Structure 1
Amino acid sequence: MIEADDNENVERLRRIEAVTDAALSRLDTEDLLDELLDRVRDLMRVDTAAIMLLDPHSQHLVATAAKGLEEEIRRNLRIPVGSGFAGRVARTGQPVVIENVGENDVVSPVLRDTGIRSLLGVPMLAGPDLVGVLHVGTLQPRHFTPDDVQLLQLVADRAGLASQARLTMIDRTAALALQRSLLPTRLPEVPGVDLAARYVPGHEAGIGGDWYDVFTLPSGWLGMVVGDVSGHGLQAAVVMGRLRSALRAYALECDNPADALTRLDRKIQHFETGNLATVLYAMISPDREWIRVSLAGHLPPVTASPGCPAELMSLPVDPPLGIGAVQVRHSTVVAFPPDAVLVGYTDGLVERRGELIDIGLDRLRAATQPDDAETVCAVIMTALAPERPADDIALVGIRRQTPAG
């Protein structure tokens, strides 16, 4: 009896070591999942093993890796959460065992055609979040033991963490690429003004929805936009891209920035429900003497003129975009003296955890001096931008040149 127990313990240890092998960490995610499924089939003596990852947007499980059920991959099988065997595992977040598979237990036509008799499935988790489902099956009736469930859950945990890390990296890379593609590759060369800009992605919070834009209009006016979509990651970057494009279109039709932001607000409420954004939209007159500005929940721009200290523009701040019906939005016209600078920015430049935002705004005013736009942006970033920003930073500087300049 003691010898039998010893043999059982040795076998259990061998099975655990096989799926926790440190060498597996050197594989990329796709190869890791394939190797884990091979080892599971061998260790548990099952006929099929499959991984279905969760598509969080559609709430479907998508066939991603399989042994013995490769046809599911070829068909790009998708199963709604809550439907069939795998959907039940995903819905409950608990292991599910079916020792005698009935006609109504599975919805996958591949599982039916294969003739699976017994199934064991466990959730793949990354912390509290469901990543997918790992299940195994046999062509003969099989009694799955608690040790079988524990082993499969151990494999699922490892596969879940690897899959989540891969998805996070894919999202971050895609968001960064999208955001970079939507930021101006170079600012326009515009008579009468000098332009410069900076964009720095946040390192802790990840890619977000901050953006800036500068464009000329057929009327000769110059548009400047600085905006911030709430949230982070790929979704915020996608929404940011849509808002940027929409605002450019509205700018062609509106000679008042408040009207353009009103239209953008309606667009968000109808097509981007649940998203919020703050936006500064300024229009500089063709003679560069005047600026029309409208703020949708955004921090006011800073101006600095020769012989005068920098100050925040005194402007009405209307509600952010996307919060609901707004009766009226305001535009304010302010003078733009020769050699003055206009600075727009997002809150990542001035906000610090545990500090009143007024302190950051005071630092910004102190750092803003009338100079060429490139120098203005460089000095501001040196004075205010942290080494590892917790949020994205977008900054635009515009200086009005004198005729001699």
Structure 2
Amino acid sequence: MTEANGAEDQLLRIESVTDSALSHLDLEKLLHELLERVRDLLSVDTATVLLHDSAAGQLVASAAAGFEEEVRQGVRVPMGAGFAGQVAAQRKPVIIERVDASTVVNPLLWEKGLHAMLGVPMVAAGRLIGVVHVGTFAHRRFNDHDIQLLQLAADRIALATQSQVSQTERATAAALQRSLMPGRLPQPEGLEFAARYVPGAGLRIGGDWYDVFPLPGERWGIVMGDVVGHGLPAAVVMGRLRSALRAYALDVEDPAGVLEKLNRKANHFEPGIMATVLYAVVEPSHAELTVSLAGHPPPVLALPGEPSRLLDLRPDPPIGMRHGTDRRSATVEIPEGAVVGFYTDGLIERRDWIVDTGLELLRAAIDTRPAEAVTAKVMSALTGASPPEDDVALLVMRRTGS
């Protein structure tokens, strides 16, 4: 075979690593098939992918060909530690010609008799996806050509993995968010609720949520929240905050006290997260609404025969921020026929207008018609002409009578 033919053959083999025919496979099967092709490409005995868990600062053995024990045992390697950890931390290829406790942190690798290993980083769009490493049971000196081939294969695997992970995360985040939103809003006698949730541009799922639930003493709890961030991490945090707030609401009557407990929980167990939250309680008579704001925009109130207005409530710091002042609650009268609109900032913020423009459009759209009609009018006014970049949550409550 001529040198040109050999190069062409190897290029075809590299391209086969991400054959479009593999696109229907789930991530686990896709990685396994890709690693089998890598083994053939480099004539090695083992090939393994460790994916980067950024939250834990670790590499997780996720797929293997020729040596599956790492995956079955759930091996995790700290960033910077041992062989794979160095590859990830340095984002450079690493070769070891003696596999033992001094060169790798996973005893499985030397106990099985591996002699030589080559590892390269998996990077896509500047983001560390993980590490691919290969090994041989025979003595072997990996050369620059081997490094080049494995890096080309790793780059293709990184892109395929990122695509699969992004699709999976989007689907998981969407399913999680749907499961945590009220499937059907309660319609207690004397109150009427309607709501909307719309993902942001590109169907990006975020951490917005709304909630309506019964409380002891014939009261009703209302929540509107917005976790900073997007995707599965934001949806997971949203789920934890939602559950915690519901639990605190059963024991603490004052909305400010509930949000203070929620803030302490977030600061202690999840430092670094940030969320704005509105929590309100409708009193048993339905004539009053007690509200506390943790960095969240205030609701809009529409009264019969009067222009709607933004409630003059000062927000306290968001959930996740340490502060030394007490949180506050304010009580607002809700006469019969009144409508209250709760929302997240994705509804009113756009790149091409100031926030006051969005607030004015929102205020003008909220009137005292039935809750569902008001909700439809708000969404038409705020999202029709200028689609939101961020996700949007809207909840409308109308007092129909006692």
Structure-2-length-normalised TM-score: 0.93
C-alpha separation between the residues in 2 aligned to 1:14 and 1:373?
66
**Inter-CA distance 316–74: structure 2 relative to 1 (3 Å threshold):** closer
Find the partner of 1:366 among 356, 364, 367.
364
**Inter-CA distance 191–127: structure 2 relative to 1 (3 Å threshold):** same
2:349 equivalent in structure 1: 351
C-alpha separation between the residues in 2 aligned to 1:64 and 1:260?
41
**Inter-CA distance 100–332: structure 2 relative to 1 (3 Å threshold):** closer
The one-letter code sitting in structure 2 at the alignment partner of 1:289 is A
**Inter-CA distance 69–346: structure 2 relative to 1 (3 Å threshold):** same
C-alpha separation between the residues in 2 aligned to 1:265 and 1:7?
69
1:37 equivalent in structure 2: 35
- Deviation digits for residues 260-301 of structure 1 (CA, Å, limit 9, x no counterpart): 222222222212211111111222222222222221111111
C-alpha separation between the residues in 1 aligned to 2:41 and 2:291?
68
1:214 equivalent in structure 2: 212
Find the partner of 1:291 among 284, 289, 292.
289
Q: Counterparts of 1:84-123 in structure 2 under 5 Å?
A: 84-101=82-99, 104-123=102-121
**Inter-CA distance 10–247: structure 2 relative to 1 (3 Å threshold):** same
Deviation at 1:22, TM superposition (A): 8.4
1:18 equivalent in structure 2: 13
Instruction: Identify the range of structure 1 (63-72 vs 298-307) with the bigger mean alpha-carbon deviation.
Output: 63-72
1:54 equivalent in structure 2: 52
**Inter-CA distance 23–73: structure 2 relative to 1 (3 Å threshold):** closer
2:136 equivalent in structure 1: 138
Q: Counterparts of 1:377-396 in structure 2 under 5 Å?
A: 377-386=375-384, 388-396=387-395
- Deviation digits for residues 311-335 of structure 1 (CA, Å, limit 9, x no counterpart): 1011122221221124122222222
C-alpha separation between the residues in 2 aligned to 1:116 and 1:290?
72
Identical positions, percent: 51
The one-letter code sitting in structure 1 at the alignment partner of 2:389 is A
Deviation at 1:92, TM superposition (A): 1.3
- Deviation digits for residues 351-370 of structure 1 (CA, Å, limit 9, x no counterpart): 10142100000001111111
C-alpha separation between the residues in 2 aligned to 1:273 and 1:158?
35
**Inter-CA distance 32–19: structure 2 relative to 1 (3 Å threshold):** farther
The one-letter code sitting in structure 1 at the alignment partner of 2:20 is S
Deviation at 1:14, TM superposition (A): 0.9
1:262 equivalent in structure 2: 260
**Inter-CA distance 381–20: structure 2 relative to 1 (3 Å threshold):** same
The one-letter code sitting in structure 2 at the alignment partner of 1:14 is D
The one-letter code sitting in structure 1 at the alignment partner of 2:218 is G
2:312 equivalent in structure 1: 314
SS in 2 for 1:381: helix
1:3 equivalent in structure 2: none
**Inter-CA distance 266–49: structure 2 relative to 1 (3 Å threshold):** closer
**Inter-CA distance 106–246: structure 2 relative to 1 (3 Å threshold):** closer
Deviation at 1:163, TM superposition (A): 1.3
Structure-1-length-normalised TM-score: 0.92
SS in 2 for 1:317: coil
**Inter-CA distance 302–147: structure 2 relative to 1 (3 Å threshold):** same
C-alpha separation between the residues in 2 aligned to 1:183 and 1:269?
24
**Inter-CA distance 317–87: structure 2 relative to 1 (3 Å threshold):** closer
- Deviation digits for residues 334-357 of structure 1 (CA, Å, limit 9, x no counterpart): 221221101111111111014210
**Inter-CA distance 116–233: structure 2 relative to 1 (3 Å threshold):** same
SS in 2 for 1:191: coil
CA contact (8 A) 2:257 2:327 kept: yes
**Inter-CA distance 280–39: structure 2 relative to 1 (3 Å threshold):** closer
**Inter-CA distance 62–318: structure 2 relative to 1 (3 Å threshold):** closer
Structure 1: runs of 5+ lacking an equivalent: 1-5
SS in 1 for 2:92: coil
Query: Highest CA radius of gyration, 1 or 2?
Result: 1
Q: Counterparts of 1:171-186 in structure 2 under 5 Å?
A: 171-186=169-184
SS in 2 for 1:21: helix
CA contact (8 A) 1:205 1:391 kept: no
CA contact (8 A) 1:85 1:107 kept: yes
**Inter-CA distance 198–112: structure 2 relative to 1 (3 Å threshold):** same
CA contact (8 A) 2:17 2:34 kept: no
Structure 2: runs of 5+ lacking an equivalent: none
**Inter-CA distance 101–284: structure 2 relative to 1 (3 Å threshold):** closer
1:300 equivalent in structure 2: 298
Superposition RMSD on alpha carbons, in Å? 2.0
CA contact (8 A) 1:204 1:389 kept: no
2:397 equivalent in structure 1: 398
